[in-house]
Structure 1
Amino acid sequence: MDRIIALIIFLFSYTLLITEKVNRTIVAILGATIMMIFGIFDNHIEAIKNYVDVNTIYLLMGMMIFVSVIRKKGLFEYLGIVTLKIFKKNGFLLYFGLTFMVALMSAIIDNVTTVLVFIPITLAITDSLDVDPLPFIFGEIMASNIGGTATIIGDPPNIMIASAAGLNFTEFFLTNGPISFINLFTMQIITMIMFKKTLNFKIDQEKVKSFDPHSAIGNKKDFIISWFLLILTLLMFIFQHQLEMESSTIALFIGFLALLILDKDEVEEILKEVEWGTILFFFGLFIITGGLVETGILKDFTYFLAKIAGDSMRSFAMMLIGVSGTVSGVVDNIPFTATMIPVIKNLQNINPETFGNLNPLWYALSLGACLGGNFTPIGASANIIALAMLKQFKNEEISFINFFKYAALIVSVNLIISAIYIEFILI
């Protein structure tokens, strides 16, 4: 009975999220609490501990505070003007440059931090040019998730997969890196065709020359401190495994350090700028998807897939990349990856001859789980944050349906290319 109730609540919640008839935060929190009221979880406190990814929650809080503080110091406007001067020829080159930079950064640090840094820079650029920011934000969302597939540290599922499979950083990058760049280039071509009318603009070279990056600087001392804090943040994220620190610890430390140094007298104002609705939405969504794990629905689903694939490495790999890509668009890819890992490991016990080398399956799971996050506006944390910032700073939105309409083709092509890569290169 619990399974039926959990599935009904999950499906009803996602229907409301897709139709956007009710505010998404209300949907997520009510869905989560209704699951608790109906006894889906034996212990509510344990459910929160087990299924709410507090690392993500605290990461968002810390980085939102950090971004709010240094945004007022002119750093993002400065970087925006410098970026514009580099990619100053036309809208297509600017788009290509920004999405490439986002993908590259996402391979080094987590996707959420990447979009939190780049979205304000992008909005500063589009404001100065008086052009529509939507294609740029959409492209950067796609690029952040694609870039995250390249390395072990690029996306949480990759960390889990590499740990379970015993894959090192170099081995993982040499395998997933090439296909990530192919997928990125494919995405850029498709999106530039989709948004050709919006991106087809010449940038006034004289106007660009008139832009002075130093004009964005208000207080020089605060500006220099902002630079220092930004560089410190990036270095801490890049070397977080050597430092043995969680992303959330770094984000909270850097966020409140920036607040102390630069805006200690405006704490209340800065805290008001945090997207608390988005954070609560994440909280509820974690609980809702956790209900599928708690009742065993997700586990049974993965074993069902394994049974369908039979004894063929090729069939299982193709099925895995397709299903993980689709499921990750609606269910957080972390619990899905967690349930698939023991399934893949067990294949060697079932059929050691066929599944002697599991590496193709590990990479299929990685590519599917990470790329699938691009399917919907709630498919990955970076998507939700980027769109929340667009709403916060520009009061513009991309509806669930419109996002999916554009994303479906891109993700489908990326998954097909990835499947071909695994078929002919890895198997």
Structure 2
Amino acid sequence: MSIYALTSLIVFIIVVVGMVFQKIDRTLIAMLGAIFLLGTGIFPDQIGAIKEYVDYNTLLLLLGMMVFVETLRKTGIFTFLGLSMLRLFGNNTYTLFISLIFLVALFSGFIDNVTTVLVFIPMTFAITDSLNINYLPFVLGEIFASNIGGMATIIGDPPNIMIASAAGYSFSEFALIMYPVTLINLVFAILLLIYFFKEDLSVKIDKEVIKNFDVSHIVENKKEFILSILLFGAVIVAFALQHELNLESSTVALAGGFFSLFILRPKDLKDTLSKVEWENILFFFALFLIAGALEETGIINAFSNMLVNFAGGSLLLFSFSILTISSFFTGFLNNVPLVAAMIPVIEKLSISESSIFSNLDPIWYSLSLGACLGGNLTPIAASANVIALGLLTQFKGKTISFWEFSKYGLIILLGNIVISGIYVNFIFF
């Protein structure tokens, strides 16, 4: 192992340990790690490394959607939608909880996970505040559902786009395999959360209170409210059709955010931008560079080759190894660099080991399952996790520790790995 590879690995471990124990703010330690890596000479061209490894599409998507959500929030649309949903599904806390989780999972299959939580989390706070019930099971459930639901379609999560492109899967072909296992994993997660939070979810809802909810007073300006609904619908449609429209997700988000600001709150630019979670954007910027250093120095590629050597003699064992290891790897590092590193390795298998790996389908789907499900392991495993917990801090002034999140995420992930492994075995073997 070269000195540069060792350095990048040590920095990665230090940053992860620092985030786990929360002695230093995660954005600060991640930025310090990224700056150190830039200054050590790991990247021959520092500006080139920033251009190559930082996913600006994701960063600008976050910026645009934060502006969009904050602008629309002031019109009362999320409170209105939340209380309207409450009147439909609020017979008891269980039905309310289950309906919200299923809706988040459904949205995540067609809209970016970050966008989904940015829409649903504020709505959820409006509901739980109105009923005076604990928001924690709802927030955790929606985070887990966004990651599980995102694996159902090609457009649900970025790794799926990469995998489908490499394997040549169509939208319907991919969804036909992934939707059943997505549904099973989601039901498992819901049942576990109901068990964990049975006291909070057993709280009785006063039906008279629900009936007497008047959502009309929430809307102070009907014109702005109608415009916000039109803008909200337009952005969702644009996300769903972004590939047909040849638009990047960041372009849709920025257009939605700043156009809505121009239409609804042109004088609130400074106030709206002050509400943007800049620390989260910087955190992702740093994380992309740290992952880039692992890729630049060959750490990720070496990891991929070790996996091939470990399970190269069995298609079934290799598929389950991909599912398991990618799940836990994704729990601490963005799933995009892992998938990017694994794609060329998997593609070579059909050539180098054609007798064993003539059918790569179980490997491709195992990689997708692991890369998406691993997002539930830790609070830093997926963009949606970081943003949702950021909204928790923004709206409630509360934080969930690394360990508190992970104790739920680990149990759900382990169950999902077993379910997915059995499913892959049943479908392909």
- TM-score (normalised: structure 1): 0.99
The answer to whether the aligner puts 1:124 opposite 2:106 as a matched pair is no
The answer to whether the aligner puts 1:303 opposite 2:305 as a matched pair is yes
What does 1:200-279 align with in structure 2 at a 5 Å threshold?
A: 200-279=202-281
Q: How many residues are matched?
A: 427
Q: CA deviation at 1:396?
A: 1.1
Q: Deviations over 1:29-84 (max 9, x none)?
A: 10100111111211111111111110110000000000000101010011011110
What secondary structure, in the 3-state scheme, does the structure 1 residue paired with 2:243 have?
helix
Q: Deviations over 1:94-124 (max 9, x none)?
A: 1111010000000011101100110110011
- TM-score (normalised: structure 2): 0.99
Question: 1 CA distance for matches of 2:31 and 2:365?
Answer: 34
- Identity level (%): 50
Q: Deviations over 1:236-275 (max 9, x none)?
A: 0000000010000000001000110000011111110101
Name the counterpart of 1:190: 192
Question: 2 CA distance for matches of 1:326 and 1:362?
Answer: 17
The answer to whether the aligner puts 1:407 opposite 2:409 as a matched pair is yes
Name the counterpart of 1:175: 177
AA paired with 2:63? M
Q: Deviations over 1:282-339 (max 9, x none)?
A: 1111111111111000101001100100221111001110001110101110000000
Name the counterpart of 2:365: 363
The answer to whether the aligner puts 1:424 opposite 2:429 as a matched pair is no
What does 1:28-107 align with in structure 2 at a 5 Å threshold?
A: 28-107=30-109
Question: 1 CA distance for matches of 2:101 and 2:238?
Answer: 23
What secondary structure, in the 3-state scheme, does the structure 2 residue paired with 1:167 have?
coil
Name the counterpart of 2:332: 330
What secondary structure, in the 3-state scheme, does the structure 1 residue paired with 2:258 have?
helix
AA paired with 1:122? T
Name the counterpart of 1:344: 346
AA paired with 1:116? L
Name the counterpart of 1:111: 113
Name the counterpart of 1:16: 18
Question: 1 CA distance for matches of 2:336 and 2:133?
Answer: 36
What secondary structure, in the 3-state scheme, does the structure 2 residue paired with 1:202 have?
coil
Question: 1 CA distance for matches of 2:353 and 2:303?
Answer: 20
AA paired with 2:397? N
**Contact 2:133–2:203, Cα closer than 8 Å, also in 1:** no
**Structure 1 unaligned regions, length at least 5:** none
AA paired with 1:378? I
What secondary structure, in the 3-state scheme, does the structure 1 residue paired with 2:252 have?
helix
Q: Deviations over 1:167-220 (max 9, x none)?
A: 000000000110000000000000110111111111111111111122211100
AA paired with 1:121? M
From 143, 146, 149, the counterpart of 2:148: 146
What secondary structure, in the 3-state scheme, does the structure 1 residue paired with 2:123 have?
helix
Q: Structure 1 runs of 4+ off > 3 angstroms?
A: none
Question: 1 CA distance for matches of 2:24 and 2:398?
Answer: 18
Question: 1 CA distance for matches of 2:268 and 2:132?
Answer: 30
